[in-house]
Chain A
């Protein structure tokens, strides 16, 4: 069966350090992968999209990598700030389908 796995344990990190989150998937051939941020009681907010033919994407302090051989994406927050504390969701769009399927999310807590 198709699975998207993110580390369910919260990631506690010191302000200024780099947070690295992992998204692994099985039995998928995604056309692209997206990362969203979700704050408590709110809907997810789009952050970055990376296509299957791209290795890396950057946006300000955020960086995403996509390895279709390993079936894995890494999401990095550099120079993390307490305001980065949130849950981060990865989501895949299957090549043959049209819906976006989400992983379970990883909660990040940045301590000052």
Chain B
């Protein structure tokens, strides 16, 4: 068990470009979450999956954001037509939900996105 892995660690892009991040959760975990965090703030929920099903998406998430978890294992988060306001740390977390008791989250180290 190597924990939650996120790639890349850093991404610098120009405004208007598309970017994609990858998250590999802990192998036996069925839940996978994406959060966004800006400096001095707590993580902000974006979306989460139970296996391959996307169960909830934040109302704050624009249509430019899309996430997938095709086989219930790794997940990708894509941001289309990036804007400077998208600059943030994107965190992935996983957990094991058992009998509707979803407890602690295990986070990756995040992908730091800078949009120039």
Q: Is the interface of B mostly helix, strand, loop or mixed?
A: strand
Question: A43 contacts B91, CB within 8 Å?
Answer: yes
Asked if A101 is at the interface of the complex by the 8 Å CB criterion, the answer is: yes
Please give, as numbers and ranges, the residues of chain B lying within 8 Å of A100 by CB-CB distance.
33, 45, 105
Question: B4 contacts A105, CB within 8 Å?
Answer: no
Interface bits B75-116 vs A (CB < 8 Å: 1, else 0): 000000000000000010100010000111111111010000
Please give, as numbers and ranges, the residues of chain B lying within 8 Å of A43 by CB-CB distance.
4, 91, 93, 107-110
Of B56, B105, B106, B109, most A-chain CB atoms within 10 Å: B105
| A49 and B43 alpha carbons, distance in the complex (Å) | 18
Q: Which of B35, B40, B48, B109 contacts A42 (CB 8 A)?
A: B109
Asked if B60 is at the interface of the complex by the 8 Å CB criterion, the answer is: no
B113 CB to nearest A CB, Å: 14
Question: A104 contacts B42, CB within 8 Å?
Answer: yes
- A-contacting residues, B35-93, CB 8 Å: 35, 40-45, 48, 55-56, 91, 93
Interface bits A77-109 vs B (CB < 8 Å: 1, else 0): 000000000000101010001111111110000
Q: Which of A46, A49, A99 contacts B48 (CB 8 A)?
A: A99
Asked if A73 is at the interface of the complex by the 8 Å CB criterion, the answer is: no
Q: Given contacts A99-B33, A99-B48, is CB(A46)–CB(B106) below 8 Å? A: yes
Interface residue ranges, B against A (CB under 8 Å): 4, 33, 35, 40-45, 48, 55-56, 91, 93, 97, 102-110, 112
Could you list 15 further interchain pairs (A-B, Cβ under 8 angstroms) beyond the known A100-B33, A105-B41?
A6-B42, A32-B103, A43-B91, A44-B43, A44-B105, A46-B105, A46-B106, A91-B42, A98-B56, A98-B102, A100-B45, A102-B43, A104-B40, A104-B41, A105-B42
